[in-house]
A and B are shown apart, each in its own frame.
Chain A
């Protein structure tokens, strides 16, 4: 069984937010109006989080792309009263939009605050609904949604591989954010596959995971920025 995971190399990330845009387009995430965004109602499945380090005048800002961490021990799925969120055998944390009652317990239990809530019915600017992705369901108002590692792409890739009677190849299934990243700072693949790129990267001495001490065992690995060595 595969165990899907991601590696994000912060030394390569330029903070351009292309992943944020690609994700929204891929997953039919509606844009929030400027007023709504100002009130903290943005629905983003991946966002760039600014970490400010040091004190003036030696201040440094580090930017960190933050998708759902797809924890192996997710604090969110335990607390859902109606079992509307669960983890697949290959490690993807999903949300059942049709069952969620919108209590937002999962959003509060998640230490990474990566789950978002539909404050109102989704809206698209005139004509934009033409560009919606038919592979991803639209979410109604009042339910929680989150990054799925573009699981619909996994379905497609699996079908293609099955029709050709071969196993899924490394790099055949990648989420939209990884595909888009202009600096190729993101890697995605099967952490159980010893030959996969993502497995190799996740063993880097620069690797760390967010809030690892909480024991949620996230499957998103970060490679720390350091002195520029000319090698990745």
Chain B
């Protein structure tokens, strides 16, 4: 039973969240469940009466649900993409953060797909996408790419989890049957480890193009139509950049909460937040570049139908939202993250909260203003979400956090074996790598 290969050693502290739960944890869970229940109640109302309970209308046929869809799918890029890239470039500081990122991806995808189901007039006919698929529809491309992404992300989350599940099986003293089943007989032999590492490397390479394709296709849902300020060739990369941007921000917030709740300051250090903060800074600049390019082209071309949407964002009805977005996605993060002094744990978290608010607003400002400016003069009708849409949105966020918290109670949220590997091999490995860069050494 006792297997020396799998002894957690000093990392046993990472098993603590699984072994004991504070009362505060249950209180938070209760609150989140309450929000989840409100969401369920709202959804039942909507199923009963139809989408009449929302604020949607002619011509604003899409609103908060589609905004949430794009936002959640964007957040999902935190995980898999960041973790895969950091693994492939052998960034040693990745070790304590990859899992936290991968879990975000897998869980949030359900809420992204769920948001579309909330938006359907006939969710009971959802399976028609399988029975009568029209492969010319960008929405069907979405169905395909998100399904592939979810499958790949689940595998990519599960593979590096296997050694930790084996540790849990042998050392947690809880739910042994469950862990035995999931550990697939992993004993930590060299052969097993070698095989696992190769599989992880293959998956890390595979998930990158899949992740990029997912958000590109999400953007194409809009860009493939001829509607003003949707029909843009820049949308694919623009959405991917926005997705990674909001994803990193979500990851920073999750890490800070984990660090605080489980007292893991020793593992999630200042340097991790500093490094992710720098990544976030780069993404913020990239996001601004894309936004600027998009808006300048529209302005300079000055086609009246495009300008109507443009001005509604810059000076008109949506200007409050638009400028809040610019401040939250660019001004605040750049001024906080651009200075080493403020690139602290608190600083990066504050920047990340603003980035996520800003990115949600960005999605809203893409969906709604275009729809509320149809090409033909149909009269002015405003869209504002009703309590049902707000309750479902809040419920989605709450349930996502709830499931995330649940995960930390079943599995270590910081990869134990990867930290051990780091302690064992990294110093030597990095030394050899650096020597390889220098002249005169072989």
Contacts and interface: CB of A to CB of B under 8 A. Distances in A.
**A and B interact physically:** yes
Interface of A: 36, 39-42, 49-52, 66, 75, 78-84, 99-105, 107-109, 111-113, 116-121, 140-144, 210-211, 214
A82 B122 CA distance: 12
A142 B49 contact: no
A81 B140 contact: yes
23 contacts: A36-B52, A40-B58, A41-B58, A49-B378, A75-B226, A78-B136, A79-B224, A81-B129, A81-B134, A81-B137, A82-B131, A100-B122, A101-B128, A102-B51, A104-B62, A105-B137, A107-B59, A108-B225, A109-B226, A111-B375, A117-B121, A120-B49, A120-B51
Nearest to A210: B376
Contacts, number: 137
Contacts of A116: 58
Nearest to A76: B225
Report the interface size class on chain B. Answer: 35 or more
Contact of B375 (A102, A112, A117, A143): A112
Contact of B134 (A41, A82, A214): A82
A21 B143 CA distance: 40
B307 to A, nearest CB: 16
A111 to B, nearest CB: 5
A158 B135 CA distance: 33
Closest 10 CB pairs of A and B: A102-B121, A142-B121, A40-B57, A40-B381, A120-B52, A141-B50, A81-B139, A119-B52, A83-B134, A82-B128
A99 B127 CA distance: 10
Nearest to A121: B50
Nearest to B119: A103
Contacts of B60: 40
B9 to A, nearest CB: 52
B353 interface: no
Nearest to B367: A108
Main secondary structure of the interface of A (DSSP, over half): loop
Nearest to B131: A82
B142 to A, nearest CB: 8
Given A107-B61, A117-B61, A141-B121, A79 B133 contact: no
Contacts of A41: 52, 57-58
Interface string B38-59: 0000000000011110011111
Given A79-B138, A81-B134, A82-B132, A104 B61 contact: yes
A145 to B, nearest CB: 11
A80 B140 CA distance: 8
Given A101-B129, A103-B120, A108 B371 contact: yes
B424 interface: no
B377 A49 contact: yes
Interface string B204-227: 000000000000000001001111
B375 A118 contact: no
Contact of A117 (B51, B125, B138, B376): B51
Contacts of A102: 51, 120-122, 125
Nearest to A215: B226
A117 B57 CA distance: 9
Contacts of B56: 119
Contacts of B49: 120
A141 B54 CA distance: 14
B282 interface: no
Contact of B137 (A52, A78, A104): A78
A107 B51 CA distance: 15
Contacts of B128: 82, 84, 99, 101
B122 A105 contact: no
A74 B210 CA distance: 31
B13 to A, nearest CB: 48
A120 to B, nearest CB: 4
A102 B139 CA distance: 12
Given A39-B381, A79-B137, A83-B133, A142 B120 contact: yes
